[in-house]
Amino acid sequence: MSALAAFFTACGDVDVAATADEVWWAGSEAGGAGPGTVSEVRRLSSEERVSSTETVAIPLAAGRTPRQGSHRYVLRRMTSMEKLDLDMLRENGCVAILRADSTEHFPATTRTLVDCGVHLMEFSLTTPGALAAVRELAGTLPGRVQLGVGTVTTVAQAEAAADAGARFLVTPVTNVQVIEYARRVSLPILAGALTPTEVFTAWTAGATAVKVFPAGLGGPAYIRSLSDPFPDIPLVPTGGVGLSEAPAYLAAGAAAVGMGGPLLGSAPKGGSLTELAERVEKLRSACSAAKSE
């Protein structure tokens, strides 16, 4: 018997004979969701409110109706996380970089970004508590959302990020050992580089894409110059990319752009989330127009 079936059996709501495959949920939203799709369960109290990531349901064994007087439970649904790849990078067009003195406002900022359609986010290790924030948020986000860890410069940091649940890594430099680690554990990585030699080294070492940093030194023209000899290397210019410049970088051949302050503003530090949403909308509109040209 699964732990989940045992839990319900102890509460008197599911027959002892129920197996993991036989435990299902009553309720239109939860119907057909087996125990493998549930990451957390608790009994619902009379005054409790549930979040948008949770479902209220009644457990029952397959082919049965709920027992009279059965308790109601709150199910936190597991998300089916996709792996970051080039198609996803190009489709989204932007990696939002969260950096602050603390992670206090990261959850609210993250929710705003997700609500606005930003699905690729990076928590920088320069923020105290970044890994704890990733660990807390990773399992609560929709499957289409990728939460990564940035400013990774050592293998030890990469391992810690992976343990925290990061869906991808981002480095500011070309560290072949970190790239090889990510490749070994099948973790996507945007590896930092600036010169043509670094770009080529990062790509041949196994980077998913190459983060050109700091991109502001050369602007969109530099990305176009890199793309000429390296047409097959996906580039993600980061550092000094403003809202107004982002479309030009995409038009120059970038797979996506990485944006911190120009997009996030003061939101990660407790600033206006309304203004953040407005900036995201402005960016998405501009980038959509650039992609369609």
The pLDDT, as a whole number, for residue 44 is: 56
Helix, strand or coil for residue 186?
Answer: coil
* Local confidence band at 291 (pLDDT 50, 70, 90 cut-offs): low
**Whole-structure pTM value:** 0.73
Top mean pLDDT of 53-57, 58-62, 273-277 is at 273-277
The mean pLDDT value for 132-158 works out to: 92
* Phi, psi dihedrals of residue 99, rounded to the nearest 5°: -145, 135
Domains of the chain, earliest start first: 3-77 (no CATH), 86-292 (3.20.20.70)
- Distance between CA 250 and CA 92 in Å, rounded? 11
Q: What value does the mean pLDDT of the chain take?
A: 81
- Residue 82, pLDDT > 60, answer yes
Q: Which residue, among 265, 257, 244, has the nearest Cα to 90 in the 3D structure?
A: 257
Instruction: Report helix angle 155-164 to 130-137, nearest 10.
Output: 30
Mean pLDDT for the stretch of residues 148-164: 96
Active centre residues (catalytic): 122, 211
Q: Nearest to residue 256, comparing CAs of 155, 118, 140? A: 118
pLDDT at 128: 98
Q: Quick one: DSSP state of residue 127?
A: S
Using alpha carbons, list the distances in angstroms from residue 154 to 55, 68, 180: 40, 57, 11
pLDDT digits (tens, 9 = 90+) for 86-139: 999 999 999 999 999 999 999 999 999 999 999 999 999 999 999 999 999 987
- Interval 168-195 mean pLDDT: 96
Task: Please state, in angstroms and rounded to a whole number, the distance separating the CA atoms of residues 122 and 41.
Answer: 29
